[in-house]
Structure 1
């Protein structure tokens, strides 16, 4: 099959100004809860895009772990590539793609660390092997083989037993949105696309051509 011939007609739903929330956070909450209820695979998975000092963008999948009026939260290794890039350029973008619902949410804004208390609370809620893994993996660094991770996990498991502390290089980030986009697939490629942008402390909702 020629990949250029792969096509899909989007016909599941619509997104109108009248039926959408004036507050993008409420709209996001509604769509996320619908994705969870529909049992789409990993509805909490989101693409995180950052830009390095060389101006080259990079993306990876992370998992949303919280959201409220303060922003969108995820947790990771601060020494990873994304951590280094965010240290140099604190602006980033997130994207959710719920294929089964024919929906995309894009979020842009400035990123900051969560508090140490938030990071501690989430870290200690994780399964033990995940907490050990945070110590065992020098994320984004070159390693000789998987045996390095296995050896590190054994070492830190023996050192910390059942109570590993949160590593100082591991914790949360919060993206504070200043731009949201909600995309609903429609027939004939005439998709619905609503943007919310922050202007003078208030959200302006407007329709974009698809």
Structure 2
């Protein structure tokens, strides 16, 4: 595939026809990624799931920047090692991200906060052989401290991580991004947690169905 748009088209096709064969132009790695994204999109679109505004699929797939988490340019530059900016860009492009060498250079040299999609930062970390935590810095709390310190939040995020098959930290970024961007952002901690629990429960049941 040549772009993120191609990946999006493939995901939509898989949502409509989960049994379609893998196109010859799509690698096994790209196919597996598209299948995973299609499954999550179907889960998020399940009838009866609590509504999340502003494209919840994008939030859950890590495609929407989260203001509280930004790329640490200097850390990225250190971890890049012997990889050139062009090599980093080429490897990201291989996964469908429209990134140029100029973009990579700008990110690592920027003194300002660079907010990128969590999924892109996850891929950058993988390309560098590192972790998301090593190439990012937090500019604020993902959620209200009262929520973050509640054991229920940890448990809900852990369950979501199992549904999405991602690390706990990645699941927290995605759930926080979706919940705080939606109608739940002004809810009291208990109501916020109840909504998050209901949402993840619905995803779990959809997967079991």
Do the structures match in fold with TM over 0.5?
no
Bigger share in strand: 1
TM-score by length of 2: 0.24
From the CA coordinates, give the structure whose radius of gyration is larger.
1
TM-score by length of 1: 0.24
